[in-house]
Amino acid sequence: MRKSKTYSSIIFFFIAQLAYSQVDTNYSQLVWSDEFDYNGAIDPTKWHHQTQIPEGGNWYNGEVQHYTNELTNSFVENGVLQITAIKENYTNQGVTKDYTSARLNSKFAFTYGRIDIRAKIPTQQGTWPALWLLGKNITEPGGYFAATNGTTPWPACGEIDIMEHGITPSEPAGFIQSAIHTPSSFGNTVNHAGTIANNLGNDFHVYSMNWSPNQITFLLDGVAFYTYNPPIKNASTWPFTADQYLLMNIAMGGVAGNISSNFTQATMEIDYVRIYQNALSVTSEAISDFFIPNPVQNVLELPANFNSNHLTLYNTSGQLVLQTTNHTTIELEHLPFGLYLLVLETNNQLFHKKIIKQ
């Protein structure tokens, strides 16, 4: 299992390098992952079971399941995470429901980067498997970050749905959808698109999301099928300037429609979760070739004779915050004060310099 998995991962990596030319930023440094190279309970240093029922005693969208931390609903076996929805009578928090499942929160949150999730998802009638992100600042009770970071309600916190299946009973076979929820469009959002995954339910597929300061692109098996890039980016259309965390779950019923009368259980299998960002390191230290006064304020002026083909700016966490081409005047007004790494590419050479935004 492990040898086969490693070999297929290498193949996908090389295919992805070609496919990711469709996105505006390629992220290459692995910063967080779970390969599920163990058996039993999920790694508690990486995952949180979200089990607290929202106010009113029911989950959102008319869902009818309890989320639990039971091993029957989430466990690792033979290198694969199993999230299983089960038809069973279960009482918790004074509420009895007829189905159980699991809803996992990652204990890692990030701004800008790429997520690859290799998964096999259930397709039974009435199941709603999902791989998605929420703002770390969401006020939702029971979420991993809510107690320490919860300041902003949904949808102002932003939601990025990497993959959903079963969101309407009438969707075509093999259809998976990606969507964006913001204050400008949420719930039955207009910001969504889907594609067909061959042999869905029987084969593993890689579901990916590539998030830059400029756009969010969704990919299936390395092929992009939807990009969200609003022309005006503000708190209403683009609350995606702060950390988001990953959720993985199977919901039951609700907008997914009636659950099949012969349903007993359904499982989403997850082979790996990998998150990539960009490193601060570059290949050249030739900073003496140009001069930039420090600190800078709202405008960065490059030397007039310095013909930069490509400029990128990173914060101290290694997150890409700005990129442009063929400009010598760079607007920095939208960036907070602090230390940044400036990387310039020209004539196949890289130069970098630390700058302070004042």
- Select the more confidently predicted residue: 189 or 308: 189
Provide the pLDDT confidence category of residue 5 given band limits of 50, 70 and 90. Answer: very low
Residue with more model confidence, 329 or 203 = 203
Cα–Cα dist 44/48, whole Å? 7
pLDDT at 3 over 60: no
pLDDT at position 268: 98
Average pLDDT, the chain: 87
Active site residues: 159, 164
Q: What is the pLDDT of residue 287?
A: 40
Domains of the chain, by residue range, sit at: 2-277, 287-357
Mean pLDDT across the stretch 267-290?
Answer: 70
CB 208 within 8 A of CB 216: no
Structure confidence by residue, pLDDT tens digits, 252-264? 999 999 999 999 9
Among 337, 342, 325, 328, smallest CA distance to 24 is for 325
Mean pLDDT of 240-255: 96
The residues, ordered by sequence, that sit 6+ positions from 161 with a Cβ below 8 Å of its Cβ are: 130, 131, 132, 133, 177, 178, 179, 180, 181, 192
Torsion sign across C-alpha atoms 75, 79, 83, 87: negative
**Residue 8: predicted pLDDT:** 43
- CATH node for 2-277: 2.60.120.200
DSSP, collapsed to helix, strand or coil, labels residue 172 as coil
With 70 as the cut, is the pLDDT of residue 157 above it? yes
Digit-coded pLDDT (tens) for 291-302: 667 788 888 887
Residue 9 has pLDDT above 50, yes or no: no
What's the pLDDT at 2? 39
**Yes or no: is domain 287-357 CATH 2.60.120.260?**
no
Q: What is the DSSP letter of 143?
A: -
Q: CA–CA distance from 214 to each of 11, 13, 19, 230 (Å)?
A: 29, 24, 18, 9
